[in-house]
Amino acid sequence: MKKVFIETYGCQMNVVDSETVMAILAAEGFARAESTTDADVVLINTCSIRDGAEQRIWHRLDELGALKKRRKGMIIGLIGCMAERLADRILEQRPMVDLVAGPDSYRSLPKLVAGATDGAKGVNVELSKEETYAELSPVRLDSSGVSAFVAIMRGCNNFCSYCVVPYTRGRERSRDPETILREVRELFAAGYREVTLLGQNVNSYLHEDVTFPELLRRVAATDPKLRVRFATSHPKDISDELIAVIAKTPNICRAIHLPAQSGSSRMLEKMNRKYTREWYLERISAIRRAMPDCAISTDLIAGFCGETPDDHAATLSLMREVGYEFAFMFKYSEREGTLAAREMPDDVPDEVKTARLTEIIELQNELSLQSNRRDIGREFEILVEGLSKRSPDRVFGRTSQNKVVVIPRTTKTGHNLQPGDYTKVRITTCTSATLQGEEV
Ligand code: SAH
Ligand code: SF4
Ligand code: F3S
């Protein structure tokens, strides 16, 4: 039996894709390897979102090439977004790569691996308008057994001017809701207590007449003890109906990730985000009116083409105005083939990008700390996920707001908390990254 190891880079969608790839290969008799050193086949699931992500993969391929020299017959495959984007260049420049498969061609992996075993280099980077891997049950690779990602749609039609994803993942398509609900019910029966519905733009989900709010309602109806999260939402599709469904369903979590990218309407227009600062802030107010306890997080880009000190100041003021709980923050990285790369000069000097990013990160640390301080003395229900990394007599879990809370493992009744348990806690202390609490 051949053993396969999959190494995953990039976003949560890549995590599920690796699990789907494992399901496809397991059905053909492949077993899971624990590491690259006991694998016959090593697959690298790659990301292209920023140049740094791709540089890491080029280096990683050199390391694996050295390993392959010592282990004759080992097969190295490149899959994911960078495989889609750079198939030819990779095969030309990295002879250790035996096969390349893009995000929509994973069903051909058994064939590509068989071909590579016979010495043929295989490539399949065809994108599809239909593929959703709908009926496959992903093999959970790195899971606590409590929380799982469920892909509900693939691709992206938004073409934000800086972004490579529409090119690497193709057009948007939504998965059959029946297959989603079946997967969620199976996860619950296997002991999972949280699912995160995934897509590049989950809230534009549409399958025949099933919209995203309707899908969310159906998934949450699986069981009140199942927590439901979703990512990522595009601000243009955060409708009143969606907000209302979240607000009236207690097991849909009070946490919305709503990437703003910039606080300047001028930048948003150049980014082709299809909303203004004012429109974004109005959506935040709508969320806050319906759910005052809802956490809001974001993605921000520093130093996009033509960004002035005023545009940057607008991003900082947006952050303060919203008071984000959490943010992913990036320096703009030009991506070949995007509208920005074709038509807008990447004219903010790197040291200015770095300085602006540092300011953004420092402000976010302050905002996260303020938000955590407001939680001190408050009570939350957490879902326990596992042992704390720092100390074996403490466990960690998350609040509905997606904040990590660390509490003593042994309850007042002498019972040891297990992953998958729900428990009520009161927050006692915090840092900007975590909350500490006690059972109530
Ligand atoms: N579909 C999601 C996330 C896509 S990628 C969304 O639309 O929000 C995750 C984040 O990477 C983006 O939100 C953006 O902040 C960042 N990103 C995308 N392209 C980038 C680029 N060229 N340079 C820097 N950051 C980028
Ligand atoms: Fe990229 Fe925009 Fe699509 Fe998100 S919505 S994946 S940022 S093009
Ligand atoms: Fe990266 Fe592709 Fe995800 S570019 S962020 S792995 S969609």
What domains sit in the chain, N to C, each tagged with a CATH number?
3-124 (3.40.50.12160), 147-373 (3.80.30.20), 379-439 (2.40.50.140)
The pLDDT score that the predictor gives to residue 18 is 97
Q: Is the CB of 169 under 6 A from ligand 3?
A: yes
Closest Cα to atom 3 of ligand 3: 11
The 10 Å Cβ neighbour count of residue 413 is 6
The per-residue pLDDT of the chain, averaged, comes to 97
The 10 Å Cβ neighbour count of residue 389 is 9
Closest Cα to atom 5 of ligand 2: 158
Looking at residues 372-400, what average pLDDT do you find? Answer: 96
Q: Is the CB of 154 under 6 A from ligand 2?
A: no
Q: Is the CB of 168 under 6 A from ligand 3?
A: yes
The residue behind tokens 């500490």 is 436
d(CA 247, CA 243): 6
Looking at residues 351-360, what average pLDDT do you find? Answer: 98
d(CA 139, CA 301): 34
Q: Which residues line ligand 1 (CB under 6 A)?
A: 49-50, 162-163, 165, 200-201, 232, 234, 259, 261, 299, 301, 330, 332-333, 335
d(CA 361, CA 316): 10
Number of the ligand 3 atom closest to the C-alpha atom of 45: 6
- The one-letter amino acid at 401: Q
Q: Is the CB of 319 under 6 A from ligand 3?
A: no
- Residue among 250, 247, 263, 256 nearest 223 (CA): 250
Q: Which phi and psi (to 5°) does residue 193 adopt?
A: -125, 5
Q: Which of 18, 51, 164, 165 to mutate to test the pocket of ligand 3 (most atoms within 8 A of CB)?
A: 165
Q: Is the CB of 156 under 6 A from ligand 2?
A: yes
Are the beta carbons of 325 and 368 closer than 8 angstroms?
A: yes
Q: Which of 49, 297, 300 to mutate to test the pocket of ligand 1 (most atoms within 8 A of CB)?
A: 49
The pLDDT score that the predictor gives to residue 182 is 98
Query: Above 90 in pLDDT, residue 142?
Result: no
Q: Is the CB of 166 under 6 A from ligand 2?
A: yes
Distance 247 CA to ligand 3 centre (A): 30
Q: Which ligand is nearest to the CA of 157?
A: 2
Are the beta carbons of 382 and 407 closer than 8 angstroms?
A: yes
Q: Quickly state the pLDDT bin for 30 (edges 50, 70, 90).
A: very high
Model confidence, pTM? 0.96
Query: Above 80 in pLDDT, residue 6?
Result: yes
- Residue among 127, 134, 140, 199 nearest 18 (CA): 140
The 10 Å Cβ neighbour count of residue 356 is 25
- The one-letter amino acid at 17: D
The residue behind tokens 């947006």 is 318
d(CA 354, CA 344): 20
Looking at residues 112-122, what average pLDDT do you find? Answer: 93
Q: Is the CB of 10 under 6 A from ligand 3?
A: yes
The pLDDT score that the predictor gives to residue 367 is 98
- Residue among 393, 379, 376 nearest 439 (CA): 379
Are the beta carbons of 266 and 259 closer than 8 angstroms?
A: no
Say how far residue 72 (Cα) sits from the centre of its chain.
35
Q: Do you find a cis peptide bond into 232, omega within 30 degrees of 0?
A: yes
Please state whether beta strands 394-398 and 379-387 pair in parallel, antiparallel, or not at all (unpaired): antiparallel
Q: Quickly state the pLDDT bin for 57 (edges 50, 70, 90).
A: very high
Query: Above 90 in pLDDT, residue 143?
Result: no
Residue 13, token pair as written in the block: 């969608």
Distance 1 CA to ligand 3 centre (A): 31
The pLDDT score that the predictor gives to residue 144 is 83
Distance 371 CA to ligand 1 centre (A): 24
Q: Which of 13, 172, 200 to mutate to test the pocket of ligand 2 (most atoms within 8 A of CB)?
A: 200
